[in-house]
């Protein structure tokens, strides 16, 4: 992600999920992957938007959100991080082959199911599609509608309160 991937749309803080103009440093796999996702209130509480603001004061708009993360041989920052995560799992003794970095996406899908979010909102939030022509009709769901849905997504037992910034609004 880059700093210009964070915007406010219709009064809602969002993250743009998109490829880069050069097509080299950021990519999405499918057309449905190009989307926006409202910033979850928990990310606001732990200071993500404050961090973005601080980074914008120091770097150009197209700078990487986390410039300290190196790019891999493929040019993507996700590659070294995925390898780091695999080493971390080994270090803490998690050896199940189904528990990998991509598991976060599967857990997110499960959390969307548990929140009883409509399939149309799930597809918009996750970048999934049915492959039907109807998917291309209309302009899609509003940022406010998706923000209301994502606010209901949670992970029972996950307590991030030790990361909260005291001045962050939810």
CA distance 137 to 132: 10
CA distance 26 to 20: 5
pLDDT of residue 31: 62
Count of CB atoms situated within 10 Å of the CB of 26 = 19
Is residue 114 classed as helix, strand or coil in its secondary structure?
helix
CA distance 64 to 153: 27
* Backbone φ and ψ of 120, nearest 5°: -65, -40
pLDDT of residue 8: 97
Distance from chain centroid for Cα 159: 19
Domain ranges of the chain: 3-163
Global pTM value = 0.84
Per-residue pLDDT of the chain (170 residues; tens, 9 = 90+): 899 999 999 999 999 988 766 555 666 666 656 789 999 999 999 999 999 999 999 999 999 899 888 888 887 778 888 888 999 999 999 998 888 888 888 999 999 999 999 999 999 998 887 777 777 778 889 999 999 999 999 999 999 999 998 755 44
CA distance 6 to 14: 6
pLDDT of residue 135: 72
């Amino acid at each position: 992600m880059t700093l210009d991937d964070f915007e406010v749309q219709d009064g809602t803080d969002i993250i743009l999920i998109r490829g880069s103009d050069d097509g080299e440093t950021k990519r999405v796999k499918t057309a449905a992957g190009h989307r926006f996702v409202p910033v979850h209130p928990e990310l606001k509480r732990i200071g993500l938007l404050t961090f973005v603001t601080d980074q914008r004061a120091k770097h150009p708009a197209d700078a990487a959100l986390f410039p300290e993360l190196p790019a891999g041989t493929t040019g993507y920052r996700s590659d070294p991080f995925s390898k780091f995560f695999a080493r971390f799992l080994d270090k803490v003794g998690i050896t199940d082959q189904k528990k990998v970095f991509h598991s976060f996406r599967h857990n997110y899908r499960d959390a969307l199911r548990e929140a009883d979010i409509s399939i149309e909102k799930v597809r918009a939030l996750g970048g999934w599609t049915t492959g039907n022509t109807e998917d291309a009709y209309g302009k899609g769901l509003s940022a406010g509608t998706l923000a209301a849905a994502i606010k209901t997504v949670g992970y029972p037992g996950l307590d991030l309160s030790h990361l909260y910034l005291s001045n962050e609004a939810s």
